A and B are shown apart, each in its own frame.
Chain A
Amino acid sequence: MKRYLLILITGCLLIALSGPVSALPSAHNYDCSDTTPTASDAQADQSSMGYTSAWTTGAFALTAYNQFKSDAIFFFNGHGLYFDDSHKGGGIQFSSDSWILASTDGHYPGSYQYYLSDYGTDIKDVLLAVYLACYSSHYNPYNGDLLSKTVTDKGADIAIGFDGEIVTTKGISWSESFWDRVRNGESVSSATSNAKDDCYWQLPIGYHGIDTYEISGSYNSYLTPARYGTI
Chain B
Amino acid sequence: MKKIILVSVLCIALMISTVSALAATTPIGVDAAKENVQKFVHTPLVQIQYQESKYLDLGDYYVFNTGNGQAYVNMYTGAVERASFTDALKSPGNLRLDSAQAKAIADKYAEEKYPGFSDMNMQLTGSGLKNHGDAGSEYSFIWREKIKDALTPNMVVVNVNPDSGKVISYIGIQREITCSTEPGISRDNAIKIAEEQFPGIRVFDSSADQSIEYTKPDIQSLTWVITLKGEPDDHVLQGGLVVVDALTGKVVVTAPYL
User: Which residues of A does B touch, CB under 8 Å?
Assistant: 33-35, 77-84, 88, 91, 93, 97, 109-110, 132-134, 137, 147, 163, 165-171, 187, 189-190, 192-194, 197, 200-206, 208, 211-217, 219
Contacts and interface: CB of A to CB of B under 8 A. Distances in A.
Nearest to B221: A203
B213 A205 contact: yes
A200 B153 CA distance: 11
Contacts of B173: 201
Nearest to A192: B135
6 contacts: A77-B258, A88-B237, A91-B235, A109-B235, A132-B258, A134-B257
Nearest to B231: A84
Interface of B: 56-58, 69-70, 82, 84, 86, 89, 126, 130-135, 140, 144, 151, 153, 155, 157, 168-169, 171, 173, 211, 213-215, 223, 225, 227, 229, 232, 234-237, 240-241, 243, 252-253, 255-258
B140 A211 contact: yes
Contacts of A35: 258
A230 to B, nearest CB: 15
A165 B223 contact: no
A216 B236 contact: no
B214 A84 contact: no
A219 to B, nearest CB: 4
Contacts of B89: 189-190, 193
Contacts of B237: 80, 82, 88, 134, 165
Given A215-B132, A219-B134, A110 B235 contact: yes
A165 B57 CA distance: 25
A93 B232 CA distance: 13
Nearest to A135: B237
Contacts of A110: 234-235
A82 B256 CA distance: 14
